[in-house]
C-alpha cells in the first residue's frame, strides 16, 4: 500500500511533495559539506536494482525518473558494497 502524504490524495502532487521532501533531506544531510554522490552500479555491478519510479509500476502509475539508477552518498554506497561482498563470500 502506498504511503499517504498528509493533505495529498495522490497523483502528480504527491510525487512533487515526495521529491521535494527527498531533496530537502539530502540538503540537510549534506549541509556544510559538498555531496559526494556516486552511482551504486558504477562501484559494484553485483546489485539487482528495482527502481520503481523509473517505470510505470509504482503508485502514481507514471515514470518519475528517466533512468533506473541508485545515486547515494559515497560512504553509504561503500558500506552497501562491503555488506554485499561479505554476503557474497558467505554464499
User: d(Cα 57, Cα 87) in Å, to the nearest integer?
Assistant: 29
Q: Could you read off the pLDDT of 35-63 as tens digits, one per residue? A: 789 999 999 999 998 888 899 998 989 99
Give the model's confidence band at 4: pLDDT under 50 very low, under 70 low, under 90 confident, else very high: very low
Report the percent of the chain where pLDDT is more than 70. Answer: 64
pLDDT of the residue at 12? 52
Mean pLDDT, the chain, rounded, equals: 78
pLDDT for 38: 94
| pLDDT above 70: residue 33 | no
Amino acid at each position: 500500500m502506498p504511503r499517504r502524504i498528509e493533505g495529498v490524495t495522490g497523483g502528480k502532487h504527491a510525487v512533487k511533495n515526495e521529491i521535494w521532501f527527498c531533496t530537502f533531506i539530502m540538503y540537510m544531510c549534506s549541509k556544510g559539506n559538498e555531496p559526494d554522490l556516486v552511482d551504486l552500479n558504477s562501484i559494484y555491478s553485483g546489485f539487482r536494482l528495482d527502481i520503481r519510479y523509473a517505470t510505470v509500476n509504482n503508485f502514481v502509475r507514471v515514470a518519475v525518473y528517466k533512468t533506473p539508477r541508485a545515486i547515494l552518498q559515497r560512504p553509504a554506497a561503500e558500506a552497501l558494497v562491503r555488506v554485499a561482498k561479505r554476503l557474497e563470500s558467505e554464499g
